[in-house]
Structure 1
Amino acid sequence: MAAAGKKCSGVLFLFLLFSLFSLSQSLLSDSRKLSVELNPGAASLPRGGDLLHVRAVGDNDTLHFLFCSQGAPTLLLVHTNTSSSTVQVNWSQFVERNHSGSLKVEPESSILYSSALVFSRLLEYDDVNDTADPISDLFPPYELQDFIWSRFNLSGPSALLCGAAANFTNGSLCLQLSAFESEGRGQSWPRLLHTANSSQVRVWLDGVLPRASRSRFLLELKAVGGVYPLSRVEVHRSIDDEFTPSIFQVSQWVPTENASSADLGFVQWKPVAYRQSNPALEDATPCRHSDPRPQSGEAAAAASGLIRAFYAEPETFGMNVSFGLAGEPFYNSTKFLSWTLLVGSGSPPVDSFSPLVVSVMAVGLGTPMILLLLGGVFVLPAEEGAASATYEPIN
């Protein structure tokens, strides 16, 4: 019995130790001081769209998140090695969208890494045969650079941007950027784990009348960078789906394997979208990505005023994210679709086993051991008694 008690105490001790370790890791994780500025340095509202600057200051470095609606919505991330770096905009040149260098992060020598993500096109196709194959029956794409975008709606370190195309019937396409002071997790599914080195973008299509009764959608993204552009997607699997039920993997758009520096960037997402604004498990729909391919940097610069303003000769890779598989409900079933991703610097966040999962594992593995030990405690005296009753001592 004493051995069984020790075993039970050991399992409990391991669980408490893991919980304390998880808590300490959370408390010791990096934190940043955030400041938000809309159209930095502009004397009046600029024509053609807004520029949001979120400055995330660490102990000895700064992350600059620049979210722009001049043309196709674009998120630019610049990491510097000083806590005093600033953003400078030449607004007369910036709004013309044809001047490289009209937006600078100074001192330029402090820049460690930069990358940008352009939300360039929304594509729709008629999935007549329910194969989820977008190669054929594509409608003319919605060019997001041609959308009429609202002004940014700010709420703390969060900004909402909504727009519509001239040929949209009702509805809108919205993007919401959220920056973070410390590590945490999203409140709604897919509940992505974030750090102070990342920002989250939620994209949703709401109320737009599809051009066919069996329409499905794709979102075209362009990753723009300098020396180490995002050029490949890694897929990592897990056995823990506690925070995103039924989803056991995460996808990461990262630089080439030859990149030696750890101070790079990433785009991370779970391969799932949702068909309701307040998602439940039955509203989840899988999503897939194409392989990133090199594309014209000039095309990305033409689509986005922010790319032209910051990069002289950008390296660009593009890919599509498609929503829904064969047999899944079509967009017309709810006329809503949302998808969430992270954009950050450094190593992508990694989900570890939560204390709940560890406790379940501990109970699952520890209980059989305790039962075996208890069985041994009762069986051993019984065997000793049987042996003493069968054999007589020899004089």
Structure 2
Amino acid sequence: MTGPDVNLEIDWPKLTSHDAGAVYFDNLTGVNYTFGFAIPNMILFNDLNDTGKIDTIPEEYRLYVPMTDFMWKIKETFSSSQHEAGVLFETVEFRGEPMPNDTRILIEVVSHGFEGRNKVLPHLITTPDSAQFDIVLDHLILNLTGAQLHNDEITAISGFENPRWAMELVPFSMEDKDDVDEGYTYATFKSLDDEHSPGVFNVDEITTFLSRQTKHGGYLQWRPVSYLTSDRDINHSTFPNINHTFPSLEELDEPINKSLAFAVFGENLVRRMVSTKIIVSYGEPKDNFYTGSKYTTWTLAYGVGIPPEETFSTLVIIVISLGIGIPSLVFVVGGSFVGYRKCRDK
């Protein structure tokens, strides 16, 4: 969040060398607040107990894939109005080799200048101070071991018979870690209205200390659903699993050092800012693992301020009003008629 007189500058030679300070603001006094996240790694893991969760999986059953191992292209940019803009990224190479046409990661980032709903399921709430991130893992079957694999092993993904994908998420905020006793907090809220996200009655969110205390913090918000088909049908979906404890990030590894977040903030990601690492794994028992559908989505809203609250939609309000109003009307009319008959009989 900046003032109108602040510009973002890029030193391209430093950026290609992954140096800190390659991306910077030309007027730091105009920067009011900064919040965002980086994605250092994808993780392929062998879900031995079919839980969908990665926290109990030993390291020998995890394979880390830095996002920098992929080459990306801008597949599409779009702006449907003066108050909405977005960009769609697509992977084209993996570790220097072209990826098959049906194997890809798609990442879409959209910002809105109005309050409303995103057009894509699960139709998260949009605000002028937020953006939305949507990732699709489409036929992401990679040979990560380098060994010559048979067809059945490739189908199992790098020798893992119960393969699932997970993603590292590193949120960071400009709050001073020396002044914050409690950093990130997870919460989930029930909703009786599923008109916008059929079959999903929860909203989950992670907030920073300032977001809970003032209007200047940061937040992540999502519906706990990952669709397994491109038409995003709730009947073909699974669950995103997220750890609920958020220890401070104490050191930076190579994938983070090659991220855009490091190019902007450098060592301040761990020295001054409040940063943590979250692992999101996709799956739940008996959903046939990633190879069952070879397709997984997840949509996340992130922004500055207080997370928007879900309210009843107009349709639900009308249904509730009719459900209460019609019986009440029948009772009043019926009671009036009975009273009228008794008075007339006298």
Using the TM superposition, give the Cα deviation of residue 359 of structure 1 relative to its aligned residue in structure 2, in angstroms. Answer: 0.5
Q: Given the alignment, which residue of 166, 186, 191 partners 1:238? A: 191
- Please tell me whether the aligned partners of residues 150 and 161 of structure 1 are also in contact (alpha carbons under 8 angstroms): yes
- Please tell me whether the aligned partners of residues 9 and 24 of structure 2 are also in contact (alpha carbons under 8 angstroms): yes
Q: In the alignment, what sits opposite 2:121?
A: 189
Q: In the alignment, what sits opposite 2:313?
A: 354
Q: Given the alignment, which residue of 1, 5, 12 partners 1:91? A: 12
Give distance in 1, aligned partners of 2:98 and 2:250: 28
Amino acid at match of 1:310: V
Change (3 A) 1:301 1:131: closer
Between the two proteins, the alignment pairs up a number of residues equal to: 307
TM-score with structure 1 setting the length: 0.71
Give distance in 2, aligned partners of 1:131 and 1:92: 45
Change (3 A) 1:301 1:328: closer
Amino acid at match of 1:241: D
Task: Summarize the alignment of residues 170-189 of structure 1 with structure 2, pairs less than 5 Å apart.
Answer: 170=100, 171-189=103-121
Q: What SS does the corresponding residue of 1:293 show, helix, strand or coil?
A: coil
Using the TM superposition, give the Cα deviation of residue 213 of structure 1 relative to its aligned residue in structure 2, in angstroms. Answer: 4.2
Task: Summarize the alignment of residues 1-395 of structure 1 with structure 2, pairs less than 5 Å apart.
Answer: 79-80=1-2, 82-98=3-19, 100-134=20-54, 135-136=56-57, 139-156=61-78, 157-163=85-91, 165-166=94-95, 170=100, 171-209=103-141, 210-211=157-158, 212-227=160-175, 231-256=184-209, 260-291=213-244, 292-299=246-253, 302-311=256-265, 312-314=267-269, 315-384=274-343, 388=346
Using the TM superposition, give the Cα deviation of residue 193 of structure 1 relative to its aligned residue in structure 2, in angstroms. Answer: 1.3
Worse-matched range after superposition: 174-183 or 158-167: 158-167
Q: In the alignment, what sits opposite 1:28?
A: none
Give distance in 2, aligned partners of 1:258 and 1:114: 12
Give distance in 2, aligned partners of 1:177 and 1:256: 25
Moved over 6 A (4+): none
Give distance in 2, aligned partners of 1:136 and 1:123: 11
Q: What SS does the corresponding residue of 1:113 show, helix, strand or coil?
A: coil
Q: What SS does the corresponding residue of 1:332 show, helix, strand or coil?
A: helix
Higher relative contact order (CA 8 A, sep 6+): 2
Worse-matched range after superposition: 174-183 or 266-275: 174-183
Amino acid at match of 2:198: P
Give distance in 1, aligned partners of 2:45 and 2:108: 25
Where do 5+ consecutive residues of structure 1 fail to align?
A: 1-78, 389-395
Q: Which has the larger radius of gyration?
A: 1
Give distance in 1, aligned partners of 2:197 and 2:52: 23
Change (3 A) 1:356 1:255: same
- Could you report, residue by residue, the CA deviation over 1:70-110 in whole angstroms, capped at 9, with x for unpaired residues? xxxxxxxxx11x22211112222222213x33321131001
Give distance in 2, aligned partners of 1:168 and 1:303: 25
Change (3 A) 1:331 1:145: closer
Change (3 A) 1:258 1:185: closer
Q: Matched residues, percent identical? A: 21
Give distance in 2, aligned partners of 1:334 and 1:112: 44
Change (3 A) 1:232 1:300: farther
- Please tell me whether the aligned partners of residues 127 and 137 of structure 1 are also in contact (alpha carbons under 8 angstroms): no
- Could you report, residue by residue, the CA deviation over 1:234-283 in whole angstroms, capped at 9, with x for unpaired residues? 21221111100111111112102696431222111111100012211212
